[in-house]
Amino acid sequence: AQSVSQHNHHVILSEAASLELGCNYSYGGTVNLFWYVQYPGQHLQLLLKYFSGDPLVKGIKGFEAEFIKSKFSFNLRKPSVQWSDTAEYFCAVNAGGGFKTIFGAGTRLFVKA
């Protein structure tokens, strides 16, 4: 069965620190990859997506992610986090051209001011 693993359930950083959140998936074929963010009390919003082309994709609010096919990974990065980045981050995979998207368990990020 397809699955998505997010390695860190909780991350605590100070402002200006660099961020990298890991995401690995288990599917050997074509994938479409997403990162969503859920700010406290709000619904999920799209941060960035990868469908094809340049494996380094840039999203909103300074976030970027790199698709490494050989490692089945799609890690999320930000060079310098802000207090307002405190949220839960979800990696999601749409595999094999199907209609279902599988979500990871999420990573809660807390940024200390």
Partner 1 sequence: NAGVTQTPKFRILKIGQSMTLQCAQDMNHNYMYWYRQDPGMGLKLIYYSVGAGITDKGEVPNGYNVSRSTTEDFPLRLELAAPSQTSVYFCASSSDGTGVSPVGPQHFGDGTRLSIL
Footprint of partner 1 (CB under 8 A) = 4, 6, 9, 32, 34, 36, 42-46, 49, 51-52, 90, 94, 97-106
The DSSP code for 27 is -
d(CA 36, CA 28): 22
DSSP line for 72-109: TEEEEEESS--GGG-EEEEEEEEETT-S-EEEP--EEE
Q: What is the smallest separation between the CB atom of 20 and partner 1, expressed in angstroms? A: 19
> Among residues 16 and 46, whose Cβ is nearest to partner 1?
46
68 or 105: whose CB is closer to partner 1? 105
Query: What is the nearest approach in angstroms of partner 1 to the Cβ of residue 11?
Result: 14
